[in-house]
């Protein structure tokens, strides 16, 4: 699909980071320059107006000002906002599951673990616009009758955790957090927590275990967090970008938000465009933007290269070949229809120099390494997958290995406690479905089909085979 926009308006003007001027209809990254993260800057951009709007006291024309919890939830439902953490679950609907009349403690949790390979948007939201998350969480807490919340931040990016703590201090001092916010009866405390870098702690129930100080391993579901969450209490968990979308919706209304995207796919989405592009980075664009436009914003593939394939939603999403991607719009429904998922929004671009066997080897290693080990299909299966792909990559594979790989993936998918098992299995099946010829070629010729992926004739260490010396070292 050809881009329909004049992209000259979006050329970078300064330092090329997440806050460069290459977004379309930005809502979360709008007005950021990399330094203006403080409270006064956020207020200048209209920050905390949405919180003021819902908490407004008094009456106008005999009707109460402000918004009730039901009205806030209805507005978020009508906006079509879907969770930005991976599954795309409708946010307003999730909020309505919270048993608001539950008499004891209830919690709200922000998932800023962001461990999905390729994804780097949440850390930039927290670094350059932290108050938008605080405001979004305060509105969510009001809507669900929650008084205490936590933001769980990935442990390997400590400067982001420190930045968020600094923003929390500002919000507390200004009365946006604490008792009786803005003179209302609503009180809300928000705390930051940091993890220690385990990918599995991004899974919502493993994350809850980790906050509780336990080993981060997923829980069986049901019961779901809405009834048995943090410390066994009703809990709602949303992704950082999901909360960051909320102030715009409350300030401007659900209809304009929905109108920016596509039906059932409201608003903007931040895509982390990574891999073989000239200007990798975070791009906030309306859902439904053609992939070709997004690729062009990111500078396209390097000169002399052609697009080969894209993983459109982080490493757990099935790969799609260029022919499909070039016709695709970037929204939940279109990508699902094409056989993949929007996931976390990391768009991993691969050009014609990429060997798919080698790419799968790297992915399989990751999932084997990150499996928490609780369930047998995932613990054992991810190791099998890696070892079989490794065998093929070394030029020692048998033709039956290809079907065996599919069979092992089949025996993992849908048979585990959490979705990490599916995330390990889906890339295998998609790589074989779309690029079987490369697996067959490597098995038959004992060298990669993609010439650029072959080792330099003088260099391969003894026994290293066709591809993957670096991967083998990490193994």
Compare residues 207 and 325 and give the one whose CB is closer to ligand FMN: 207
Crossing angle, helix 400-412 and helix 420-445, to 10 degrees? 180
Neighbours of 340 (CB within 10 A): 22
Residue 307: count of CB within 10 angstroms of its CB: 21
Binding site for ligand FMN (CB under 6 A): 83-87, 89, 94, 111, 113-116, 200, 202-204, 237-239, 242, 418-420, 423
Output 297 or 418, the one with its CB closest to ligand SF4: 418
- Give the residue, chosen from 157, 181, 328, 420, that forms a contact with ligand SF4 under the rule CB under 6 A: 420
Minimal distance in Å, beta carbon 395 to ligand SF4?
30
| Shortest spacing between CB 195 and ligand FMN, in angstroms | 9
> Cα 54 vs. chain centroid, distance in angstroms?
28
Candidate ranges 20-28, 174-182, 371-379, 445-453; the one touching ligand SF4 (CB under 6 A): 371-379
The closest alpha carbon to 121, from 275, 240, 16, belongs to 240
Q: Report the SS3 class of residue 349.
A: strand
From ligand SF4, ligand FMN, none, interface partner of 93 (C-beta below 5 to 8 A by class): none
Q: Shortest CA distance to 460 belongs to which of 469, 451, 452, 472? A: 469
CA separation, residue 347 to residues 134, 135, 282, 302 (Å): 27, 28, 10, 16
- The site that binds ligand SF4 (CB under 6 A) totals a number of residues, namely 14
Shortest CB 99 distance to ligand FMN, Å: 18
CB of 382 to ligand SF4, least distance (A): 7
380-419: which residues touch ligand SF4 (CB under 6 A)?
416-418
Select from 335, 375, 426, 453 the one that contacts ligand SF4 (CB under 6 A): 375
H or E segment to which residue 162 belongs: helix 158-173
Of 39, 127, 200, 307, the one binding ligand SF4 (CB under 6 A) is: 200
CA atoms of 311 and 299, how far apart (whole Å): 18
- Supply the minimum distance, in Å, between the C-beta of residue 103 and ligand SF4: 32
Of 189, 198, 124, 137, the closest CA to residue 371 belongs to 198
Q: Identify the DSSP state of 262.
A: B
- State which residue, 239 or 382, has the beta carbon closest to ligand SF4: 382
Give CA torsion, residues 449, 451, 457, 460, to 10 deg: -60
Smallest distance from ligand SF4 to CB 420, Å: 4
Q: How many other CB atoms sit within 10 Å of the CB of residue 455?
A: 16
- Residue 329, binding choice from ligand SF4, ligand FMN, none, Cβ under 5 to 8 Å by partner class: none
Distance CA 348, CA 290 (A): 16
Out of 80, 85, 86, 421, the only residue in the binding site for ligand SF4 (CB under 6 A) is: 421
State yes or no: residue 207 binds ligand SF4 (CB under 6 A). no
Residue 102 CA from chain centroid, whole number: 31
Q: Does residue 293 bind ligand SF4 (CB under 6 A)?
A: no
Q: Smaller CB distance to ligand SF4: residue 216 or 313? A: 216
Contact residues for ligand SF4, defined by CB under 6 A: 200, 218, 371-375, 378-379, 416-418, 420-421
């Amino acid at each position: 699909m050809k881009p329909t926009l004049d992209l000259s308006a979006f050329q970078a003007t300064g330092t090329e980071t997440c806050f460069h001027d290459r977004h379309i209809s930005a809502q979360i990254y709008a007005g950021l320059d990399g330094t203006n993260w403080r409270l006064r800057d956020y207020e200048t951009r209209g920050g905390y107006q949405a919180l003021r709007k819902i908490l407004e006291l008094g009456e106008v024309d005999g009707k109460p000002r402000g918004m009730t919890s039901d009205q806030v939830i209805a507005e978020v439902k009508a906006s079509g906002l879907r969770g930005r953490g991976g599954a795309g679950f409708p946010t307003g609907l999730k909020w309505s599951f919270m048993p608001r009349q539950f008499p004891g403690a209830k919690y709200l949790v922000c998932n800023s673990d962001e461990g999905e390979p390729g994804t780097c948007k949440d850390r930039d939201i927290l670094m350059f616009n932290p108050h938008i998350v605080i405001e979004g969480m305060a509105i969510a807490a009001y809507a669900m009758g929650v008084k205490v919340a936590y933001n769980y931040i990935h442990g390997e990016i400590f400067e982001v955790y420190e930045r968020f703590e600094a923003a929390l201090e500002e919000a507390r001092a200004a009365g946006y957090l604490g008792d009786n916010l803005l003179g209302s009866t609503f009180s809300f405390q928000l705390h930051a927590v940091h993890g220690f870098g385990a990918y599995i702690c991004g899974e919502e129930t493993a994350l809850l275990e980790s906050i509780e100080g336990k080993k981060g391993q997923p829980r069986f579901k049901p019961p779901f967090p809405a009834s048995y969450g943090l410390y066994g209490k009703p809990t709602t968990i949303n992704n950082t970008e999901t909360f960051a979308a909320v102030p715009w919706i409350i300030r401007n209304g659900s209809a304009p938000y929905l109108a920016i995207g596509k039906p059932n796919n409201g608003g903007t989405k931040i895509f982390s465009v990574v891999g073989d592009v000239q200007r990798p980075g975070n791009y906030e664009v309306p859902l439904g933007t053609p992939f070709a436009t997004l690729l062009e914003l990111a500078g396209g593939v390097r000169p002399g290269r052609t697009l080969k394939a894209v993983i459109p939603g982080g490493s757990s999403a099935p790969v799609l070949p260029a022919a499909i991607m070039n016709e695709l719009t970037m929204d939940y429904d279109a990508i699902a229809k094409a056989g993949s998922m929007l996931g976390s929004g990391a768009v991993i671009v691969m050009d014609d120099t990429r060997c798919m066997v080698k790419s799968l080897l790297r992915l399989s290693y990751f999932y084997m390494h990150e499996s928490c080990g609780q369930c047998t299909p995932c613990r054992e299966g991810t190791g099998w997958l890696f070892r079989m792909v490794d065998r093929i990559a070394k030029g020692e594979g048998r033709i039956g290995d290809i079907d065996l790989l599919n069979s092992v993936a089949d025996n993992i998918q849908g048979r585990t406690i959490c979705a990490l098992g599916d995330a390990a299995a889906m890339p295998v099946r998609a790589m074989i479905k779309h690029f079987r010829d490369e697996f067959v070629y490597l098995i038959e010729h004992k060298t990669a089909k993609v010439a650029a992926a072959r080792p330099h004739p003088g260099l391969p260490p003894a026994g290293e085979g066709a591809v993957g010396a670096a991967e083998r070292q990490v193994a």
